[in-house]
Amino acid sequence: MPCIRTISQAVLLLGGLSRTLAMPHYPRTDGVSWGACEIDLPSVQCANFTVPLDYTKPNSRATLDLQLLRVPAVKQPKKGTILFNFGGPGLEARLTLAGTAQTLLAITGGEYDLVANDPRGTANTLTASCFNTTAERATFVGEPSSVIPSRDDELALGRVWGQTQVVEDQCFNFPGFRQRGSLIGTAFAARDLLQIVDAIEDDGLLRYYGTSYGTVLGATFAAMFPDRVDRLILDGVLNPHEYFNGYDVEAWADSDRTFSGFVEECLKAPDLCALGSRRVYPEDLEKDVYNLLEDLREEPLSQGDLLIDSSLVQTFIRFSLYSPQFYPALATALEGLLSQDAAAFADVYDAFVESGLDLTQSPDESSFAILCGDKRVPEQSLEEMAPVFEALEDESRLLGSSGHIQAMICQHWRIEANARYEGNFTAATRHPLLVIGNTFDPATPLRSAQNISAGFEGSVVLEHGGFGHTTLSQGSSCTINAIRSYFQDGTLPEPDTVCEADYAPFEPKTLTDVLVDLGYIEAAPEE
């Protein structure tokens, strides 16, 4: 295992020298030739951009083509480029950027080009796939998507432990997977960002917006190349210490609080929430749902070909809590189950899956291939994993056990990234970071934002007083303006600033409405 810090220093030194001596004015877009995208989209451009395949082999000439997508700035003069990573790990960044282009242009001010590349392991870039076809994946015997074992259910724990080993074996033995698996991961992804910056920014500095796992990538870049940071926003922070060296227990720290908040907001808005008249006190309504999950554990329901067990409902709650836009539907689904109306639940569930918010199916195995290849955790038997399961369930009664499967896969995982970032997250960046955390985020708690900010000199935590995963889930003009100011002139909010959302979570409003109210985007014509 090469020491990544040594490599990072070597590259930094060389980069710095060539910049001052040879190429003080790197022409923008040099090295990237933009053309049409293979997906037919208006006003975006794509490019294939060549980078070294393996940064740990400086003498190798092997290369990799990264796929980039660009949304051009809408205001002149252009200030530069903002790079994005939307998380997962495993999300196809180009598709996400194309789908949210108007929103992101409005939030970042319109003076920057927006660029994203599909990270190694995802989409067509070193695809981390362990199956020949989607059908093969779907019918695979060990597909560990059905049962979430709880720590006291030995039978289920043992079964999933075995299933996750079967999955790991499948990946380990799939032709070409071991090599691909060694070439993906966050340290290489951070170096890819640096290559892109060197090719398209004449000052050689990174401007970046990362959400969810994208905060791990951003923090890793900031720790490896602090002198190259001009603007860096981490929104919805995943604790990077835990990401590399633990089981992401802290990720669930605010999950229960978020669900409690959901219930409270529901009772405040009985006209907009199907559960709103069921109980007077939030504690009682919450108890009803916990009892429901307990009952479903012992006696699942069925509706058509849908098996409604506690694992399915837990996963559904987990992803519905990601955005207040889903809260009314979540309430309708739970109200259905609480009134023994499985069909009502199934209707909402089917719509949810059809809308593309696929709960269990993914196009490849990149999410855990990236994550597990990055992680270094001590080897443990199933028995020795007990404290991990306990920690996860203690962190969140509602969702903590959702972390068990991932912990088990990573425990079995044998393929390590050729380079893992092994340093700390303590640095003085060229310009301070803006770190944002929601008050009610089911997947990335405010505590993790505070954790990362503690290590980066001058960085400020902005608390976004909203619900959902990352600030893009519930609009706040205060948060939006803070982000715009940061990109426009580098201004950071005062420490301890709390930006409230502009509307309550059950109100039928969206981030787009806030951007329209602010005059940052034009209202869509009435339908």
Ligand X SMILES: *[C@@H]1O[C@H](CO)[C@@H](O)[C@H](O)[C@H]1NC(C)=O
C-alpha distances in Å from residue 19, one per residue of 25, 26, 81, 132: 8, 8, 19, 45
Tell me which amino acid residue 330 is: L
Give 67 or 474: the residue with its C-beta nearer to ligand X.
67
Residue 209 beta carbon to ligand X: minimum distance, rounded to whole angstroms? 22
DSSP state of 88: T
Instruction: Identify which of residues 250 and 374 has a Cβ nearer to ligand X in the complex.
Output: 250
Coil, helix or strand at residue 190: helix
Nearest to 250 by CA among 437, 75, 427: 437
Contact region with ligand X (CB under 6 A), list: 10-18, 49-57, 237-245, 435-443: 237-245
Minimum distance between the CB of residue 223 and ligand X, rounded to whole angstroms?
Answer: 8
Using CB under 6 A as the binding criterion, the count of chain residues that bind ligand X stands at: 16
Asked if 454 interacts with ligand X (CB under 6 A), we say yes
Nearer to ligand X, 44 or 372 (CB): 44
48 binds ligand X (CB under 6 A): yes
Please say which residue, 266 or 443, places its beta carbon nearer to ligand X. Answer: 443
Owner of token pair 């070193």: 126
Q: What DSSP string describes 390-444? A: HHHHHH-TTTGGGGHHHHHHHHH-----SS---S-S-B--SS--EEEEEEE-SSS
Nearer to ligand X, 284 or 457 (CB): 457
Candidate segments 45-53, 386-394, 477-485, 519-527, binder of ligand X by CB under 6 A = 45-53
Selected range binding ligand X among 315-323, 341-349, 419-427, 460-468, rule: CB under 6 A: 419-427
Considering the complex, state which of residue 328 and residue 400 has its C-beta at the smaller distance from ligand X.
400
Select the span of 43-51, 261-269, 279-287, 466-474 touching ligand X (CB under 6 A): 43-51
Pick between residue 79 and residue 94 the one whose CB is nearest to ligand X.
94
Q: Binders of ligand X among 110-169, rule CB under 6 A? A: 132, 136
Instruction: Please say whether the beta carbons of 374 and 186 come within 8 A.
Output: yes
Shortest CB 331 distance to ligand X, Å: 34
Q: Which residue, 456 or 503, has its beta carbon nearer to ligand X? A: 456
3-state secondary structure 385-405: HHHHHHHHHHHCCCCHHHHHH
Rounded to whole angstroms, the Cα distance separating 325 from 53 reads 41
Among 143, 169, 202, 242, binds ligand X (CB under 6 A): 242
Query: Residue 29: CB partners within 8 Å, gap ≥ 6?
Result: 199, 200
Pick 240 or 261: Cβ nearer ligand X: 240
Burial 333-360 (b: 16+ CB within 10 A, else e): bbbbbbeeebebbbbbbeebeeeeeeee
Assess 63 for contact with ligand X (CB under 6 A). Answer: no
- 183 HSE (CA, 13 A, CB side): 22
Q: Are 496 and 446 in contact (CB under 8 A)?
A: no
* Contact call for residue 426 and ligand X (CB under 6 A): yes
Choose, by CB under 6 A, the member of 35, 77, 519, 525 that binds ligand X: 35
- Closest to ligand X by CB, 241 vs 268, is 241
CB of 166 to ligand X, least distance (A): 12
- Which residues does residue 48 pair with via DSSP β-bridges, in sequence order? 67
Q: Segment near ligand X (CB under 6 A), from 235-243, 310-318, 323-331, 468-476? A: 235-243
Establish if 72 lies at the interface with ligand X (CB under 6 A): no
Please report the sign of the dihedral spanned by the C-alpha atoms of residue 302, residue 303, residue 307, residue 309.
negative
Residue found by looking up tokens 């001010």 in the block: 109
**Nearer Cβ to ligand X (52/423):** 423
Torsions phi, psi for 271 (to 5 deg): -75, -20
- Choose among 211, 192, 2: nearest CA to 87: 211
Of 49-57, 149-157, 333-341, 423-431, the segment contacting ligand X by CB under 6 A is: 423-431
- Tell me the C-alpha to C-alpha distance, in Å, between residue 268 and each of 310, 471, 500: 27, 22, 17
- Residue holding tokens 């960044």? 93
* Minimum separation from the CB atom of position 210 to ligand X (A): 18
User: Taking CB under 6 A as the rule, does residue 46 contact ligand X?
Assistant: yes
Q: Is 424 in the site for ligand X (CB under 6 A)?
A: yes
Contact region for ligand X (CB under 6 A) — 40-48, 291-299, 309-317, 392-400?
A: 40-48
What's the first-to-final CA gap in the chain, in angstroms? 59
Among 451, 459, 470, 473, the residue binding ligand X under the rule CB under 6 A is 451
Binding site for ligand X (CB under 6 A): 35, 38, 46-48, 132, 136, 239, 241-242, 250, 423-424, 426, 451, 454
